């Protein structure tokens, strides 16, 4: 048996046997790991509020020979998303981040860049921001998965699209000029393209000072989520629930 103690983010849980929970955990050291929290439903003592999605914990767990699931022994909360009052949008945004990581990452592969990204957006969401960290996360996940298309050129004719509205399609890669737009394409404003470039150059903290109502860069968020969905080959339930990009 190998014991691990390290930072992790709780992604989701589901009931298992009578009073146990299976937990999908994103660990810094080993990437995504699945484990059993024994008696977690019956006893609050060991896990308490530490099993809420997107809780940042120091996890103690044990790998066991010939067992697919690790044994989760203790979670010490480092930061909890429920330490402040939560509203619907923030809860859904937290679940969105958890769902994307859970769907996007294979088990057992460390992904430090994704881990740092998750902690950075979690910080912002914990102080009540929703739309900026969600947009930032969705765009960066596309880039880290190699799914982010180039926004500066038309994918069909190669035209330079600097400073122009570009057209995006839920079913095809890349963006196009107006002349080459595909059926069902939607516009991505020049302002949102510039914002995407800032997101890739800057840190989340630098954007946090600016007002981000839900309407701001909604087209960019829609585009980032559609690109994630196409790359993952499935609909992201939390994004749908939030209807955040309409």
Q: Which residues bind Zn ion (CB under 5 A)?
A: 154, 156-157, 159, 177, 180
Q: What is the longest distance spanned by two Cα atoms in the chain?
A: 62
Residue number, 48 or 174, with CB nearest to Zn ion: 174
Residue number, 157 or 160, with CB nearest to Zn ion: 157
Q: How many CB atoms lie within 10 A of CB 180?
A: 16
Q: How far is the CB of 227 from Zn ion (least distance, A)?
A: 19
Q: How far is the CB of 223 from Zn ion (least distance, A)?
A: 17
Residue number, 7 or 180, with CB nearest to Zn ion: 180
SS3 28: coil
Cα gap 157→180, rounded to integer Å:
8
Residue number, 144 or 164, with CB nearest to Zn ion: 164
Residue number, 132 or 177, with CB nearest to Zn ion: 177
Q: Where are the beta strands (DSSP E) in the chain?
A: 2-16, 20-27, 31-37, 56-63, 70-79, 166-168, 175-176, 186-188
The first and second tokens of residue 32, run together, are 């995504």
Alpha-carbon separation of residue 9 from 26, 113, 168, 181, 236 (angstroms): 5, 14, 33, 40, 19
Residue number, 176 or 192, with CB nearest to Zn ion: 176
Q: Report whether 61 contacts 75 (CB < 8 A).
A: no
Q: How far is the CB of 183 from Zn ion (least distance, A)?
A: 15
Phi, psi of 131 (to 5 degrees): -75, -40
Q: How far is the CB of 11 from Zn ion (least distance, A)?
A: 40
Q: How far is the CB of 151 from Zn ion (least distance, A)?
A: 13
Q: How far is the CB of 179 from Zn ion (least distance, A)?
A: 6
């Amino acid at each position: 048996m190998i014991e691990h103690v390290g930072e992790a983010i709780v992604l989701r849980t589901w009931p298992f046997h009578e009073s146990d929970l299976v937990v999908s955990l994103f660990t810094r050291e080993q990437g995504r790991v699945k484990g059993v929290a024994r008696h977690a439903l019956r006893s609050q003592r060991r896990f308490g509020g530490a099993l809420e999605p997107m809780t940042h914990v120091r996890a103690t767990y044990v790998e066991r020979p010939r067992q697919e699931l690790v044994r989760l022994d203790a979670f010490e909360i480092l930061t909890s998303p429920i330490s402040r009052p939560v509203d619907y949008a923030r809860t859904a945004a937290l679940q969105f981040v958890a769902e994307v990581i859970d769907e996007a990452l294979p088990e057992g592969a460390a992904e430090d860049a994704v881990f740092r990204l998750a902690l950075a957006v979690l910080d912002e969401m914990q102080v009540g921001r929703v739309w900026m960290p969600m947009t930032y996360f969705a765009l960066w996940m596309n880039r880290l998965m190699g799914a982010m298309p180039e926004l500066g050129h038309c994918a069909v004719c190669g035209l330079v699209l600097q400073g122009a509205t570009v057209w995006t399609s839920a079913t095809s890669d890349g963006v196009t000029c107006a002349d080459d737009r595909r059926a069902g394409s939607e516009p991505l404003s020049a302002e949102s393209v510039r914002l995407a470039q800032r997101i890739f150059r800057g840190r989340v903290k630098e954007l946090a000072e600016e007002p981000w109502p839900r309407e701001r860069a909604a087209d960019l968020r829609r585009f980032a989520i559609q690109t994630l969905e196409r790359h993952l080959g499935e609909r992201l339930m939390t994004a749908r629930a939030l209807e955040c990009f309409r």
